[in-house]
Structure 1
Amino acid sequence: MLKIATFNINGIRSRLPALLEWLDKEAPDVACLQELKAPDTAFPSDEIRAAGYGAIWHGQPSWNGVAILTKGMDPIETRRGLPGDMGDTHSRYIEAAAHGVLVGCLYLPNGNPQPGPKFDYKLAWFERLIDYAAGLYDNGHPVVLAGDFNVVPTDEDIYNPKSWLKDALLQPESRERYRRLLDQGWVDALRTRHPDERIYTFWDYFRQHWQKNSGLRIDHLLLNPELAPRLKDAGVDRWVRDRPHASDHAPTWIELDMSAKKKPAEKPAARTRRKAAPQ
């Protein structure tokens, strides 16, 4: 079984002990990290290698930053940075081949406050992702897009939408772009495995939201047709969020049976005009 996880670490230097504890206990084969908040030179490659993982990373001082860790091997980098805007200096996308899967790790812009230039940038980045993802979807190899998408897909993915009506994560434009991404045919793995459950991946630091389970689902793993039939399980390592000085996200993961024979992929009209099912 192959385990792939995504984890917004919210500062890799300050939360390195938590990261190493999680890697030791849960042992994902691939771990996608976001919000490193550190330049490339400050990435703790020695400590991560000592834990049994190879890594590639795309850092940035104080903000952003993404990385892919792979157990027992070095990932083969295939892309650094999302195409479509030569002037974009944010470190938000990195991609690698590892353990027979092409892994795209992303940190989509938050977009607050909205309206404004940060929200405009969020939507423009989302458009670039949609364009690029269309090629990944059809490339004939197993692909997962994993990361912090900074979008709450539906009202079923948040404890109380009324408290977040003005937030960029819930705006109709953000949700519409996520639906358009799924309309390419990508499978939202966590929701597929838990179709009726209130399941969250993020709890902010305010008003005891963790203690009250007032969360949001914004960390997603999307599977293309080469990978989706192999999905066996998905979940959230909630215990990590309960540790002292934790990130406000918890690791979100999938398990894939890579030995299973792949079922023939369907080619429905869903690829072009499918409405996303309630998430």
Structure 2
Amino acid sequence: MPDGTTDGGDPSRLRLATWNVNSIRSRLPRVIDWLARAEVDVLAMQETKCSDSQFPTLPFFELGYEVAHVGFNQWNGVAIASRVGLDDVQIGFDGQPSWSSKPEVAAAAEARALAATCGGVRMWSLYVPNGRALGDPHYTYKLEWLAALRDSAQGWLRDDPNAAIALAGDWNIAPQDDDVWSMEFFAGATHVSEPERRAFQAIVEAQFADVVRPFAPGPGVYTYWDYTRLRFPKRQGMRIDFILGSPALAARVTDAQIDREERKGKAASDHAPVLIDVRRD
């Protein structure tokens, strides 16, 4: 898979990707340019940071993509852009927990999960809660959110064991020690705690495999680098963006890549896109 270049749109494969864009309005020119160059068929986006009415759909349409988006304000927000169909759009999953940071405000489901069927693949764009700090109510919310996702994912495969499902997004978890640049630095922090890792592993054990890792082995392979302290040039990152595939999808993955080049330059997101190639049935 070439770094950010077209392969001519091979009709024998689907190219699926996920990217935490960290504000679609700030990142729009880069995202549109990258979609064209990388020949991506379906892109899951996270942290769009806008309402549905503010999402810039027109540039995607002009490039041949349909778009589904759910967002309420300047926080969170997830989207799917597809040029191979966008059917059966679903906002959220069964049992998705609600959240409110203020006791006086009623809890509600956040804009963190969106699905659509694209080219025969059930594509999910997921933005897992950050957790903030061990012991914080948001950390408990994160674990509950992941447990609910696992339960839903198990149900999808019970209903159709042959379903091709991609759970794509920013998981805010580094499941292995070599998924962070320094375990010593992250000691006592979120993203690397055992409860979070167990929650991630429970989804893997529900038959959703990390389909990128076989093609991008670590250590030192990351998807996120903080904007501060020159983390990117120092190669001090984290691998927290994943595509987990059901058995039917995982069996068809032929290549995968983390496009580190897109973390470079001006107006870059702090995350890199993650791509997989899937053999068409």
| TM-score for the superposition, normalised by structure 2 | 0.88
Counterpart of 2:200 in structure 1 is: 178
Q: Structure 1, residues 107-150: CA drift from partner, whole Å, max 9, x if none?
A: 00000122111111111111111111112234222111100011
Spell out the pairing of 1:2-151 with structure 2 (5 A cutoff): 2-71=14-83, 73-84=84-95, 85=97, 87-138=107-158, 139=160, 140-151=162-173
- Secondary structure of the corresponding residue to residue 103 of structure 1: strand
Paired residues of 1:3 and 1:253 also in contact (CA < 8 A):
yes
> How far apart are the structure 2 equivalents of 1:137 and 1:233?
24
Q: Partners in 2 of 1:52 and 1:30 — Cα distance?
A: 11
Structure 1 CA distance for aligned equivalents of residues 19 and 254 of structure 2: 20
Instruction: Name the SS for the 1:13 alignment partner.
Output: helix
CA displacement at 1:229 relative to structure 2: 1.1
Separation in 2 of the partners of 1:22 and 1:78? 24
When structure 1 is superposed on structure 2, of 81-90 and 203-212 the one drifting more is: 81-90
Contact kept in structure 2, 1:64 and 1:90, CA below 8 Å: yes
- C-alpha deviation, 1:83, in angstroms: 2.0
What residue in structure 1 maps to residue 101 of structure 2?
none
> Gaps (5+ residues) in structure 2?
1-12, 99-106
The CA distance in 1 between the partners of 2:251 and 2:119, in whole Å, is: 17
Structure 2 Cα separation of the partners of residues 114 and 50 of structure 1: 44
The separation in 2 between residues aligned to 1:65 and 1:95, in whole angstroms, is 13
Give me the whole-angstrom Cα distance separating, in 2, the residues matched to 1:221 and 1:89.
Answer: 23
Taking only the aligned residue pairs, the percentage that are identical comes to: 35
**8 Å contact from structure 1 (residues 82, 92) kept in 2:** no
How far off its partner does 1:78 sit? Answer: 3.6
Q: Which secondary structure state, in structure 2, belongs to the residue aligned with residue 227 of structure 1?
A: helix
Moved >4 Å (runs of 4+): none
Structure 1: how far apart are the matches of 2:278 and 2:150? 24
Per-residue CA distance 1:130-172 (angstroms, 9 max, x = gap)? 1111122342221111000110011011111111123211111
Contact 2:52 2:69 in 1 (8 A): yes
2:251 corresponds, among 213, 224, 229, to 229
CA contact (8 A) 1:137 1:186 kept: no
Amino acid corresponding to residue 26 of structure 2 in structure 1: S
Q: Give, as a single letter, the amino acid of the residue that structure 1 aligns with 2:197.
A: R
Match of 2:10 in 1: none
Name the Cα RMSD after superposition.
Answer: 1.4
2:108 maps to amino acid: D
Matches of 2:226 and 2:164, distance apart in 1: 33
Contact preservation (8 Å) 1:55, 1:74: no
Aligned residue pairs: how many? 258
1:9–1:33 contact (8 Å) kept in structure 2: yes
Matches within 5 A, 1:180-195: 180-195=202-217
